[in-house]
Amino acid sequence: QKEVEQNSGPLSVPEGAIASLNCTYSDRGSQSFFWYRQYSGKSPELIMSIYSNGDKEDGRFTAQLNKASQYVSLLIRDSQPSDSATYLCAVIYAGNNRKLIWGLGTSLAVNP
């Protein structure tokens, strides 16, 4: 059974702090990794995709991938109240016909 695991939270950080969200996956054959943000009552929207080991930065967001340890993380710098949402991690496994396996999400609350 392919799995993607995230802490459900809620993760609470003060405004301006760094929020760190983590995701682990079970299959070393995983190829592609995605972070989505979902506001309450809305659909998921892509924040970052990462395909190779290391860091990938986009504005205040940094995705980090470590395939040897089978984890992917998302750092949000200078957190804002508007970042309060559920963050979903998703992984494509080799041989899974390119279907995404989803984590249950981590709820983030940024307090003013």
Partner 1 sequence: NAGVTQTPKFQVLKTGQSMTLQCAQDMNHNSMYWYRQDPGMGLRLIYYSASEGTTDKGEVPNGYNVSRLNKREFSLRLESAAPSQTSVYFCASSTIGGTSTDTQYFGPGTRLTVL
Binding-site ranges for partner 1 (CB under 8 A): 32, 34, 42-46, 49, 88, 90, 92, 97-100, 102-105
Q: Long-range contacts of range 95-99, CB-CB < 8 Å, 24 or more positions apart?
A: 95/29, 96/2
Q: Indicate the residue among 30 and 79 with the shorter CB distance to partner 1.
A: 30
CB 43 within 8 A of CB 52: no
Cβ pair 55, 62 in contact under 8 A: yes
Output the smallest distance, CB 46 to partner 1, in A.
6
Nearer to partner 1, 52 or 112 (CB): 52
Rounded distance, CA 95 to CA 112, Å? 44
Residue 1 beta carbon to partner 1: minimum distance, rounded to whole angstroms: 11
Q: Which is nearer to partner 1, 19 or 91 (CB)?
A: 91
Q: Which residue has the tokens 């998703």?
A: 90
| Shortest spacing between CB 18 and partner 1, in angstroms | 25
